[in-house]
Amino acid sequence: MTPQTAETIIQNAYVVTFDGAGRIIADGAIVINGGEIVAIGDTSDITREWTTDNRVFAGGKIAIPGLIDAHMHSAQTMMRGLITSLAQVGNLRVPTWREYYVPFEAALRAEDVELSGELAYTSMLRSGTTTFFEAGGPHPERMAAAALSTGIRGSVSLSTMDGGSRIPDSMLMTRDEAVEANVRVVESLASGPGASPRVTGGMSLRQIITCSPGLVVDIHREARKRNVKVHTHLVEGTYEIDHSLEQFGLRPVDYLIDLGVFDETLHCAHSVFLNDADIGQFASRGTSACHCAKGNYAIGHPPALEMWRRGVSIGLGTDGVGSFGTLDMFRVAMLTRIGQQLVHGTPVHNRNDVRAAEPLQMAVNGGARAMGLEKQIGSLEVGKRADIVLVATDSADAAGYSTAEAFLYDCANGSDVHTVIVDGEVVVSDREVLTADVETIARRAAERQKELTAVIA
């Protein structure tokens, strides 16, 4: 039989597919054509059936699907370390999102947001994140430009508020302005100049205490028309529950159900203060969520594992770098494992409650489902986009592991990422980003950060 020709073949990898069967191929190969996985199997079989001029030899590396950051604030990237520095001087004002994050975003120029995106997305790619779900910020068109140039996959959206206290005027819109602006983001990225299916527009509502009921309903309606998600923050603090009870006589989830918007269109970041009935509503209505392990445990006892096991489409997210500045989703997965053991297992004296693979499954499978992209990404399977990460096993921490997947689940982190492929294109090779000048981006961002620091001091 004459071998078929492929654009790229990754071979001799330890392939952890994250598919529904949990398939692992000890000496595996992946065939890529047109940005898509067209074959996957044992290296011996693939190399007999396929040929190529572009082989990636992945001996000693683990091949996994790209990680997915299901809640990311691109515009806050130049805040890295500022909150920690302020906390060393005195107590922080609360809530931090209103007192620091939103004023910082309000001070950004369009070019600042693009630079923030370049800084964030190159960092994410270097640590194995191939897809991000933007929470909503200023100048989303410049986030999209940064995503397109760096090679990452993502959905961007606009920070949307038509009310709330102590919100900078520049961050507020009327209800009609907010709807029009959200529609423009979605439609311009779907069919405007340079449009790419790799970077799309979504819609956003900052949270229910800054968005009127009419705006919530209108944005949801326009999102459903265009088959895009609405990204929001939900039950991130007790103040939100108090507000909802005072204004509407209902807890937040029940309020959104009452408005008719709590369905598969809505994506709810944080989701910390949920009761059993709330979780049931997430599961039955298809509403997605994101667990942000860097910050959620300072807020309450997030039921992320319970949601995951009850079938909620819940992913993991970094929440950006406003606090705890890493964008490494491997570290977020580890924090999830430790935190959910404390929340879910320790109270009932179950030392082994969180299974080793679950946090990374949430970051891969869960993230894809939360974004509505499970048919495109989230596992290594024929027909899915070729978003692939090769994790090296040559670090000191990797030495002596009985199996490669045990190292992957227990100990791997972003610094172990060797190669990253998005849509079939190599964007990171030998730990170096190929699509951007990382040093120049970092230098420019450091200079601009100094000028912006005074905004939130």
Give the pLDDT confidence of 319-375 residue by residue, as tens digits: 999 878 999 999 999 999 999 999 999 999 999 999 999 999 999 999 999 999 999
> Considering the domain 67-370 in this protein, what is its CATH number?
3.20.20.140
Would you state the structure tokens that stand for residue 64, as one six-digit string? 């996994």
**Amino acid letter for position 351:** R
* DSSP one-letter code for 324: S
For the chain, the structural domain boundaries read: 4-65+379-433, 67-370
Collapse the DSSP code of 248 into the 3-class scheme (helix H, G, I; strand E, B; otherwise coil) and give the result: helix
CA angle 300, 303, 306 (to 5 degrees): 165
Tell the CATH topology of 4-65+379-433. Urease, subunit C; domain 1 (2.30.40)
Which of 416, 371, 365, 361 is CA-nearest to residue 390?
A: 416
CA–CA dist 227, 373 (Å, integer): 12
How high is the pLDDT of residue 151? 98
Q: What is the pLDDT of residue 23?
A: 98
Strand partners, 325: none
Q: Are 339 and 303 in contact (CB under 8 A)?
A: no
pLDDT at residue 213, rounded to an integer: 98
pLDDT in tens, 243-285: 999 999 999 999 999 999 999 999 999 999 999 999 999 999 9
> What are the residues facing 153 on neighbouring strands?
131
Stated pTM of the model: 0.98
Cα–Cα distance for residue pair 422/387, rounded to 1 Å: 4
Which two three-digit tokens encode residue 143? 């986030």
Q: According to the model, what pLDDT value does residue 192 have? A: 83
What's the confidence (pLDDT) of residue 427? 98
The whole-number pLDDT of residue 453 equals 85
Label residues 386-416 b or e (16+ Cβ within 10 Å = b): bbbbbbbbeeeebeeeeebbebbbeebbbeb
Give every residue of the chain whose pLDDT is below 70, as ranges.
Answer: 457
Using alpha carbons only, give the angle 290, 80, 455 rounded to the nearest 5 degrees.
Answer: 110
The pLDDT score that the predictor gives to residue 194 is 84
Q: Do domains 4-65+379-433 and 67-370 have the same CATH topology?
A: no
Cα gap 334→349, rounded to integer Å: 20
Name the token pair of 14: 């330890």
Measure the CA–CA gap between 324 and 366, rounded to whole angstroms: 23
